[in-house]
Structure 1
Amino acid sequence: MRKNILMITPENKEINNFRKKQYNNFIQITMPYLAAFIDESKYNITLVDEYNQDIEYDSKYDLVVITVNTPNAIHCYNISQKFREQNVKVVMGGPHVTLLPNEAIEHCDYIIVGEAEETWPQFLNDFYNNCAKKQYICEDAPSLKGIPIPRRDLVKGRYFTKGAVFATRGCPYKCSYCNLKQIYCDSFRTRPINEVIEDIKSIKSKYFVFWDDNFFGDIEYAKKLMTELAKLKKKWAAQVTLERCQDEELLKIAKKSGCIYFFVGLESFSQDGLASVNKGINNVSKYKSIINLLHKNGISIQAGIIFGLDTDKKDIFEKTLNACNELGVDGVTVSILTPLPRTPIYEQMKSEGRLISNKWTYYNGKTRVAFKPKNMTAGELYDGYMWFRKEFYSIKSIFRRMSVSKTNLLYNFVVNLGYKMSILDTNKKCYK
């Protein structure tokens, strides 16, 4: 007899209100990917993504699966409680569970810690046979060879934004605010190129994104993959480090293979600020030449910017805006520095007594400040961050940046407009 399994990609209302009107929100790939491991002779599968769906608590399920990141942790615990009150079993995994398993296990029946390629199928088999253990822990780095193609067919709606895929896992760098080293086994791995290509072929939309943490982590691998990718005539984006974009041959291959833009973690225009979070691989003096090289090769840049570094003063917001306008940065994903659990910066701020709250809702990097900044108040940091977002996506700034960039103009205008609409909606709410 088949069991009913519900798989939830959670998103609390605060974050959903923040993201809803942005046009480039691709799906989180975790649940469609894990669904591909499930034997449908044993389980009936339902996927729910709270980005655009509601959870039906009255439906009958044998098992509820929730992937938990830190800012959604409390929300996930509340979801779990509602199902457990109906005697439905709940299993949790994901970044927050891996970081704080002893906390998570108090709010569910089972946990899966770390990467799940080996432990998830084992759990599914044990649960079906009524002998599941409380926790399953990844002991060794799983191979990415022979993994299944995600079940995107189970995703409701989102035709243009369900094309997420990954080719590699891990990152060779150790930025102090990043928790990748604590979440993944400490090794950079690649997926067989032919398997990545088959995965991408299965995406119906012309557009997709690589969900890799550092797509250029292995340059020779990336070149070989992109050479094959060029044959598919699709359009794509990926996250890379700026210093790897100095290789013009790499950029030419990327453009030929259909690359529209790169998400690049600039983080700051202060070299001292970068050093304070162990991001010395970025060289501010080279930003202009590398961004010009990207634009020369027809690739837009979506820059990651972080405010709240210990070197940031109250003039950082205006200085960053002026620099972005001058360089023609096509778009930004701007965040407030967030001391995620078990990262070096979390341990530092905890030891200094600078954490404002232990409620994980504060740790989303978008609508809350979780710590006491050094050179301004938490309120000044939040207000400055919001001012920057509003000014960066003002019509004046959009056209000024586009006149410098001259790259993918229609695409850039649509994406910038989406962010502007999102900001107008966010400004109606106060999260401080």
Structure 2
Amino acid sequence: MPTLLMITPENLEIKRFRAYQLNNFMQLTMPYLAGFVPKEYDIRLLDEHTEPIIFEKFDLVAITVNTPNAPYAYAISKKFRELGSWVALGGPHVTLNPEEAALHCDTIFIGEAEETWPQFLNDFLCKKAQKVYTSSRAPSLAGLPIPRRDLIVGNRFISGAVFASRGCPHNCSYCSLKKIYHNTFRTRPVDEVIKDIASMPNKYFVFWDDNFFADPSYTKALLKDLAKLNKKWAAQVTAHSCEDEELLRLAKSAGCLYLFLGLESFSEQGLKDANKSFNKIEQYGKIADKLHRHGISIQAGIVFGFDSDTPDVFETTLKACNDIGIDGVTASILTPFPGTGIYDQYKNEGRLLDVGWNYYNGKTRVAYVPKQMSPEELLNGYNEFRRKFYSWKSIIKRICKSRVNIFYNLAMNYGYRQAYRNFAKLDIGDSKGMNIFEQLI
């Protein structure tokens, strides 16, 4: 029986950054793909958020690769290949950079894997595995297997993740979804999603959908059935979609605790830079009040570093978030991921820094030259925003303004506060960020 190890890698720098955050739900990719693995394999899942890699020979090692983890994933692959394992790489970075990834493994997967992964597993059993497997069409999301959550090691609380749809109808300048997935929005059958959720032992879970409210009619039908399961959950949506009162009412009755809203910027020009003009800043306060009236908390996605951003953007954003009672913020540094419009723009303008992919994490490093500040000013301003936003003064002000899910919001804010304080004490290494390879030295 061939042995199969499926790895979700996490380099040391990002693991340290995420420490103490309470919403670190496990990535779904590998538990989901494990559901396709036939009984002929002896399978093991490994997520570095909960356990370290022990290097020993497996017949087959599969690794999912995102851009900031690419150098680290390649190093992991090298170690296993030296032990005699066949290594397969897939994920968003491989899809966007297949020629690069192919240099570091035995097999690569380009695009969505619902059809190519099972084909490869059968080929491997027959000793005729190919070098490249490419998704040539948008796979149906009907009849998918239940993720193998029984194989997850570590904290069971964070294993609650599910998806009901794939893709997004919008085309934000910094987003690579259109290149990673076939450019079509799809949904899973409602009854299959409900069966998937019901199979989870978790009381709390998260929808990994890119835009959970993208098809309101579908989502409403799903929420009506979900309400029967007595679960608590969160999802990512657009601010514009929250104008639908019925959608919010059904979400709350189905157990919604909070919604992640991609607000991105409190600047009209910033939203234009993001190709997200459908967001209306003058509506942010009204949307926040509406969500709070329905008892739903707001986790806002904020991005710093658009071409129109000046050094005062950090204080302006902090004041705006505090004033309208944003419950929490996931702040990011604008990152020109390969395959996006801004990557091509910055490359043509000579603004991409000569740094490794580990700089493309959106949290601890800057990978390009901003227009109206230096990379150092952007990074320092971003960190100062996080420090002030998760100060007790800001936390108390926002909770008093929001007045929903108070215990939950306090716990979440405290976790982010501790994560910032913990990471701020660390020396994250030299200017090239080579410390991400500490685990392999």
TM bracket, shorter-chain basis: over 0.9
Q: How far, CA to CA, are the matches of 1:206 and 1:86 in structure 2?
A: 41
Q: Secondary structure at the match of 1:341?
A: coil
What corresponds to 1:232 in structure 2?
A: 229
- In structure 2, how many angstroms separate the alpha carbons of the residues matched to 1:175 and 1:212? 16
Matched with 1:55 is 53
Code of the aligned partner of 1:53: E
For residues 428 and 352 of structure 1, the distance between their equivalents in structure 2, rounded to whole angstroms, comes to 35
Q: Does 1:127 align with 2:132?
A: no
Task: Report the Cα offset of residue 430 of structure 1.
Answer: 4.4
Q: Secondary structure at the match of 1:379?
A: helix
1:357-377, Cα deviation, whole Å (9 max, x unpaired): 241000000000000011111
| Residue-by-residue CA offset, 1:128-147 (whole Å, 9 max, x unaligned) | 11001100000000000000
Alpha-carbon distance between aligned partners in 2 of 1:157 and 1:427, rounded to the nearest angstrom: 26
The residue correspondences of 1:246-395 to structure 2 (distance < 5 A) are 246-395=243-392
Match of 1:211, as an amino acid?
W
Confirm or deny: 8 A CA contact 2:71 2:358 kept in the other structure.
Answer: yes
Q: In the alignment, is residue 242 of structure 1 matched against residue 239 of structure 2? A: yes
In structure 2, C-alpha distance between the alignment counterparts of 1:357 and 1:320, rounded to whole Å: 30
Determine which of 145, 148, 158 is the counterpart of 2:145.
148
Name 1:46's counterpart in structure 2.
44
Q: CA deviation digits over 1:43-71, x for unaligned, max 9?
A: 1011110111111103x310000000000
Identity %: 58
Letter in 2 for 1:229: L
1:20–1:51: 8 Å Cα contact kept in structure 2? no
Distance of 2:232 and 2:274 partners within structure 1: 33
Aligned AA (2:41): Y
- Per-residue CA deviations over 1:316-367 (Å, capped at 9, x if unaligned) read 0000000000010000000000000021000000000001124100000000
- The answer to whether the 8 A contact 2:60-2:85 is kept is yes
Q: Which residue does 1:12 correspond to in 2?
A: 11
Once residues 158 and 282 of structure 1 are traced to their aligned partners in structure 2, the CA distance between those partners, rounded to angstroms, is 37
**What is the alpha-carbon distance in structure 1 between the residues aligned to residue 335 and residue 105 of structure 2?**
26
Distance 1:118 1:20 in 2: 35
Indicate the residue corresponding to 1:65 in structure 2: 62
- By how many angstroms is 1:159 displaced? 1.4
1:429 CA displacement: 2.4
CA distance in 2, matches of 1:178, 1:255: 29
Contact in 1 for aligned 2:59/2:86 (Cα 8 Å): yes
Matching residue of 1:179: 176
> 2-side partners of 1:386 and 1:429: how far apart?
13
Per the TM alignment, residue 188 of structure 1 is displaced from its structure 2 partner at its CA by 0.3
When the two structures are superposed, what TM-score results if normalisation uses the length of structure 2? 0.96
CA RMSD of aligned residues (A): 0.7
- The SS at the match of 2:103 is helix
Normalising by structure 1, what TM-score? 0.98
Q: Which runs of 5+ in 1 are unaligned?
A: none
Task: Output the CA distance in 1 between the equivalents of 2:274 and 2:323.
Answer: 25
Aligned match of 1:222 in 219, 222, 226? Answer: 219
Residue in 2 that maps onto 1:101: 98
Secondary structure of the corresponding residue to residue 261 of structure 1: strand
Please say if residues 51 and 154 of structure 2, whose CA atoms lie closer than 8 Å, have aligned partners that are also in contact: no
Alignment: residue pair count:
429
**SS where residue 62 of structure 2 aligns?**
strand
Where does structure 2 lack aligned partners over 5 or more consecutive residues? Answer: 432-441
Equivalent AA in structure 1 for residue 66 of structure 2: N
